[in-house]
Structure 1
Amino acid sequence: MSDSGEGDFEFERRFVARDVPAELLEATPTLIVQSYLLAADGYAVRVRVQAPGVPAVQDPGLDELLLLERYVDRVEFASVTVKGPMVAGTRYEAERELDPVMGIEIVRRGPARVAKLRHAVWLGDDGWVIDVFTGANAPLVVAEVERGGPVTDLAIPSFCVTEVTTDHRFANDALASRPFSTWAAELDAELAEHGPVFLSELGTNRRLEP
């Protein structure tokens, strides 16, 4: 949720990332496991739990729930969030913190889950998060930058291969019901045929070597 005085809105841009330099990835990132109680037409109700300081390398055979159970004793934060559709990098988002025990129990019972390892890094003038998805959404990696207002005139790291800010297939609520592993070949075919896509209506984009 934005803390910029803009109310319950977030301003972000998101990119598929590949070949992220190893030095940008933390040895012990934060594990995020979230369940979607509602996900339709860009509207979503999400419950998230976070466990900091887990190993960056995980068993690829672990699904989202098994991964949560492995680190359930490390969960320190939980929240419930209501989201609206994304429009050019802006999305309604209202969040409320939950008791971690309550969050864990809801995620355990949730109908659709996503798990990812979140790395934080400062690049250029912006703080970025790099989400390495696990479970059914591996090997997807998404780099995201968020600001207190519209993300314009962005320096985009060279490991960002295409922008997916407005591509609903890459929204976490969509990935919970249609995991990336089931359609990864679609992205490769699109990149081969059409090349990368970057939003042009948000100022000037430039490339940034990390």
Structure 2
Amino acid sequence: MAIETERKFLLHYLPSSLLVNSTLIRQGYITNKKDRVVRIRLSGDSAFLTVKGATHNASRKEYEYPIPKQDAKEMLQLFCKKPLIKKTRYQIEFKGFEWIIDLFSGDNQGLVVAEIELDSIDQAFEKPDWIGEEVTHDPRYFNSNLIETPYSAWQSKDH
């Protein structure tokens, strides 16, 4: 069993010069409940089945398994709720940590978030100057909630 501890942020600005290697991601949810999600993800040439438990203070149990790419394509089509999450992912190293920047497309076009995985919620790290407001505990930004209420449907686009 793995524990995922992740913090999520909006950006002050997009560090375009650092966005060099991208991965296209399509993902969908077979089960999407507050206490558990079952996700299928196509990430570049890889595919995964992921089961996640309830989030408690930015941490949750996570189990992830590689699956055949063709199986993932079929499950995304046959079993996952629509719309699928579509995003381009960039990985950036900064002061000993890996930051992930996701640029969403489709129904979530315009949404950009950065994430950092930590060993514990209180682990110290330095934020790059492009990191803005923390949205870790705002459920609107959970990928699993973006299928229910996509960014394009938000009443107020103050984020």
Alignment of 1:67-106 (within 5 A): 76-106=45-75
Does the 8 A contact of 1:14 with 1:145 survive in 2? Answer: yes
Query: What amino acid is the match of 1:94?
Result: Y
The CA distance in 2 between the partners of 1:124 and 1:19, in whole Å, is 19
* Larger Rg belongs to: 1
The CA distance in 2 between the partners of 1:154 and 1:87, in whole Å, is 20
Task: Give the TM-score of the pair, scaled to structure 2.
Answer: 0.90
The count of aligned residue pairs is 157
Q: What is the identity percentage for the equivalent residue pairs of Structure 1 and Structure 2? A: 32
Structure 1: stretches of 5+ with no match in the other structure: 1-6, 52-75, 192-210
Which of 44, 48, 56 is equivalent to 2:41? 48
Structure 2: stretches of 5+ with no match in the other structure: none
1:125 positional shift = 2.3
Which of 83, 92, 98 is equivalent to 1:127? 98
Paired position in structure 1 for 2:133: 162
Paired position in structure 2 for 1:38: 31
The CA distance in 2 between the partners of 1:99 and 1:81, in whole Å, is 13
1:178 aligns with 2:153: no
Cα deviation, 1:114-146, whole Å, max 9, x if unaligned, reads 011000111122111100011111101110111
1:155 positional shift = 1.3
Paired position in structure 1 for 2:108: 137
Change (3 A) 1:128 1:154: same
Cα deviation, 1:158-201, whole Å, max 9, x if unaligned, reads 22221111211111000112101111625x1xx7xxxxxxxxxx
Structure 1 segments (4+ residues) deviating >6 Å: none
Equivalent residue of 2:13, what SS?
coil
Equivalent residue of 2:156, what SS?
helix
Q: Alpha carbon RMSD of aligned pairs, Å?
A: 1.7
Looking at secondary structure, tell me which structure has more helix per residue. Answer: 1
The CA distance in 2 between the partners of 1:89 and 1:144, in whole Å, is 11
1:42 positional shift = 4.4
Query: What amino acid is the match of 1:106?
Result: M
1:147 positional shift = 2.8
The CA distance in 1 between the partners of 2:29 and 2:133, in whole Å, is 26
Which of 5, 9, 31 is equivalent to 1:11? 5
Task: Give the TM-score of the pair, scaled to structure 1.
Answer: 0.69
The CA distance in 1 between the partners of 2:155 and 2:124, in whole Å, is 29
Query: What amino acid is the match of 1:111?
Result: K
The CA distance in 2 between the partners of 1:163 and 1:184, in whole Å, is 20
